Amino acid sequence: MKILVPVKRVVDYNVKVRVKADQTGVETANVKMSMNPFDEIAVEEAVRLKEAGIATEVIAVSCGLLSCQETLRTALAIGADRAILVETDVELQPLAVAKLLAAVFKKESPDLVILGKQAIDDDSNQTGQMLGALLGRPQATFASKVVIEGGAAQVTREVDGGLETIKITLPAIVTTDLRLNEPRYVTLPNIMKAKKKPLENVKPADLGVDVTPRLKTLKVTEPPKRSAGVKVPDVATLVAKLKNEAKVI
Amino acid sequence: MSDLKTAFAAIVGESNVITGDFAAYANDWRKKYFGKPLLVVKPGTVEEVAALVKLCAETKTPIVPQAGNTGLVGGGVPDESGTEVIISVARMTKVLEVDTINNTMTVEAGCILQTLQETAAEHDRLFPLSLAAEGSCRIGGNISTNAGGVQVLRYGNTRELVMGLEVVLPSGEIWNGLRGLRKDNTGYDLKHLFIGAEGTLGIITKAVLKLFPAPRSTQTVFIGLESPQKAMDLLGFMKGALGDRITAFELISDFGLSLVTKYFPQLKAPLPPAFPWFVLSDIADSRDAAALTADVEAALGEAIEQGIILDCAIAKNETEGNRMWELRENMTESQVHEGRSIKHDVSIPISKIADFIKAADAALEKAYPGVRPITFGHVGDGNLHYNVAHPLASFTEPNWTKELDRVNLIVHDATAQFNGSISAEHGIGQLKREEIKRYKSALELQVMKNIKAAIDPQNIMNPGKVI
Ligand SMILES: Cc1cc2nc3c(=O)[nH]c(=O)nc-3n(C[C@H](O)[C@H](O)[C@H](O)COP(=O)(O)OP(=O)(O)OC[C@H]3O[C@@H](n4cnc5c(N)ncnc54)[C@H](O)[C@@H]3O)c2cc1C
């Protein structure tokens, strides 16, 4: 069984994001970048399936700038077998990424695609679903457990108010939630090995995909600054403030 | 007492004089000392501190200065006489100025260390002092203990980070030495007397602190190796390969790590427990993160080839780096769960650390077969927290505590043998006051006493601490 794992390069979770002065986006120059945490969980899950003898090959794919190679190297260090970079400097939106992934899917014919439920930079939560639709294949989003049986995946999903378990026929798309697994630390020997694993570079045109953005960003702004708290002398004042100023009770 | 209370209240206001429930102020963090203060007073300004001290000087009331009360040697807690007044700077928490050109910030002594780190970060600067108690300790306490912490290797102790001080002297006079000068050769450098004085010479009320450019990226690594000697070899190797970008270099023994993973099971060890020793290190740079990671990988790859290290986990994002540090930060607490160990905070010339560990281990094993040393610390700057857990077969926790003096003697004599110090960073306080007499010359002790007598002739400023 072959697994395709799309991974996105994003600003590190711990970096305090700054908006560019011209309000066209967020500052990424000289900023620590890492693999989207949900994608890391996806790579970990795929590698575990391989280590359990269920999967035979794990292919990581990333779309974007040449520097996404570093993110792919991380996926290879976790244990992916090879990697594909779809290189472009065009700003990629979820539909374009889904189309690129669909094209890679058609080329590679994997049995399973595991990817993050969303990326922590744009929080779109669209790519997995769009990919399922484009391919006409079943999807299970927000997975907290994945069991492969025969030609199907039994996936436990985190839904409002509890867990839902569904069974989908492979090939299928699974998007990961936080509790699916805890990704491993990568060790230096595995990083060294990763440097020798194959990394293929293709362009959107090679895949016949038009990635021109369809959405236009008008403006990016900082959230309003939190105003300082106030101390109240007693409960009565607190209640009065909650009633009259905050109007929450 | 009620007179004094009224007079204090007139200075700081009724609500800032505490007369009941002293626990948070009178007991130390390790629950070793349970002092009985007369009162706790919480002034809000330097003028209030000065007025309080003046009153104490007039009435010969002994003062215990206190900041965050996280000190580990009983320096910030009163004795049991019920006569000492704790003056807490905890309400003095203003950041007065951040100067990004002079690269300094002027702050009040009660500022929480973590708040100062965050303030510096907001100005795209680094205030490098960092230690496990940073969420509770306050800068006045850090300065008074000349706190070290995890970045001493690159940025030095608190002493190196202080450019100026404002101090209320035991007379109640205010000395304003708030200079932000990197060069100032105009006689005795008084601020250095108050740094590390543990509150025995006056109450620090404000400080000018040094700031540094904020590193753009930090790469954390967790390394498995064979022995402390290899760790020292690695330190030399990394200094050569990565220069002064190494900001932290911590040694951790397998036993120490196993206690953390035992009592904090949610914290995963980055490497399999098969290795006898570990090093946790941070390498920071103001350049691009990817370039830094590449340099670190290349250097440590070479260290594997040369047989200096056995394996190494490289944090792939900052969250993982923080998790690696959580292991280190919970070492002290995990030892509390395992049963009280006998603690040491020694400093050894870096080149002799491995020999010291061997010598101390052997001397202890001879006296107490089966003894379990928990060896860890900021070895990048020669500092070891050499803690000793009881031998399981022959001792229980309560009767192990009775061996304190003998164990201290064994470890500290080994320290002296290698020209080390019996208190690398935690200070003397009450805990080691008698013991330093064994390791410091009579002359050195006499000069210290002379200084104390010159500045605090009535001996009202934290009496019974240090000397
Ligand atoms: C979990 C933990 C980890 C620690 N790790 C480290 C470490 O890595 N490195 C290290 O060096 N230390 C460490 N310490 C101990 C360290 O000394 C303190 O954390 C800190 O520096 C003391 O600050 P504080 O505000 O708590 O001072 P306090 O405990 O309140 O006081 C400490 C001493 O300073 C005096 N003092 C306090 N405020 C003033 C003032 N304004 N003017 C004059 N004297 C004053 C007190 O009288 C006392 O003698 C650790 C402590 C804990 C609990």
Nearest to A188 among B290, B314, B317 (CB): B314
Q: How far is the CA of B46 from the centre of ligand 1 (A)?
A: 20
Can you state the percent helix, strand and coil of chain A, rounding each to 5? 30, 30, 40
User: Taking CB atoms and an 8 Å cutoff, what residues of chain B touch A189?
Assistant: 304, 311
- Supply φ then ψ for residue B256, to 5 degrees: -60, -45
Interface test with B, best of A33, A44, A187 (most B CBs within 10 A): A187
Please say if the pLDDT value at position B1 is more than 60: no
**Nearest residue of chain B to residue A193 (CA atoms):** B301
Domain B217-332 in this protein, CATH class: alpha beta
Look at domain B95-213 and name its CATH class.
alpha beta
C-alpha distance from B317 to closest chain A C-alpha (Å): 6
B225 within 8 A of B309, measured Cβ to Cβ = yes
Fold topology of B339-424: Alpha-Beta Plaits (3.30.70)
Enter the ipTM.
0.84
- Expressed in angstroms and rounded, the spacing between residue B78 Cα and the centre of ligand 1 is 15
The pLDDT value recorded for residue B355 is 96
Please report, for chain B, the start and end positions of each structural domain, with discontinuous segments joined by +.
2-88, 95-213, 217-332, 339-424
Identify the pLDDT of residue A29: 82
pLDDT of A41: 98
- Per the listing, tokens 């400097």 go with A89
pLDDT of residue A224: 86
Q: Cα A186 to the chain's mean position, in Å?
A: 19
Residue whose entry in the numeric block shows the structure tokens 């294949």: A137
pLDDT in tens, B174-189: 999 999 888 899 999 9
The class that CATH gives domain B2-88 is alpha beta
Does the distance separating the beta carbons of B317 and A34 come in below 8 Å? yes
Contact B289, A32 (CB under 8 A): yes
Contact B284, B321 (CB under 8 A): no
Residues of B with CB under 8 A from a CB of A: 121, 216-217, 222, 268, 270-271, 288-290, 297, 300-301, 304, 311-320, 322
pLDDT tens by residue, A122-178 = 999 999 999 999 999 999 999 999 999 989 999 999 999 899 999 999 999 999 999
Q: How far is the CA of B29 from the centre of ligand 1 (A)?
A: 10
pLDDT band at B240 (very low <50, low <70, confident <90, very high): very high
Q: Return the CA Rg of chain B.
A: 23
Helix (H) / strand (E) containing B23: helix B23-26
Per CB-CB distance under 8 Å, the chain B contacts of A34 are 316-318
Q: Is B70 in the pocket of ligand 1 (CB under 6 A)?
A: yes
CB of B199 closer than 6 A to ligand 1? yes
A74/B316 Cβ within 8 A: yes
> Number of helices (H) and strands (E), helices first, in chain B?
18, 18
For strands A2-6 and A57-64, give the pairing.
parallel
Q: Which of A13-17, A145-149, B98-102, B159-163 has the lowest mean pLDDT?
A: A13-17
What is the residue-averaged pLDDT of chain B? Answer: 94
Q: Is B88 in the pocket of ligand 1 (CB under 6 A)?
A: no
Contact B319 A13 (CB under 8 A): yes
B2-88 and B95-213 agree in CATH topology: no
Q: Is B313 in contact with A188 (Cβ distance < 8 A)?
A: yes
- Report pLDDT digits (tens) over A73-127: 999 999 999 999 999 999 999 999 999 999 999 999 999 999 999 999 999 999 9
Which chain A residues are Cβ-neighbours of B313 within 8 angstroms?
185-188
Q: What is the pLDDT of residues B332-356, one digit of tens each?
A: 889 889 888 999 999 999 999 999 9
Report the pLDDT value the prediction gives residue B466, as an integer from 0 to 100.
96
Give the largest CA-CA distance in chain A: 69
Its pTM stands at: 0.84
- Asked if pLDDT for residue B315 goes beyond 70, the answer is yes
Among A34-48, B199-213, B391-405, the minimum mean pLDDT is found in B391-405
Q: Could you tell me if B241 and B299 are in contact, meaning their C-beta atoms sit under 8 angstroms apart?
A: yes
Helices (H), ranges, B179-317? 191-194, 228-242, 254-263, 289-305
Q: How far apart are CA A206 and CA A201, in angstroms?
A: 10
For B60, half-sphere exposure in the C-beta direction (CA atoms, 13 angstrom radius) is 3
In short, whether B420's Cβ falls inside 6 Å of ligand 1 is no
Q: What percent of chain A has pLDDT over 90?
A: 85
Question: Is there a contact between A14 and B222 if contact means CB atoms under 8 Å apart?
Answer: no
Pocket residue to mutate for ligand 1, from B66, B92, B113, B167, most atoms within 8 A of Cβ:
B66
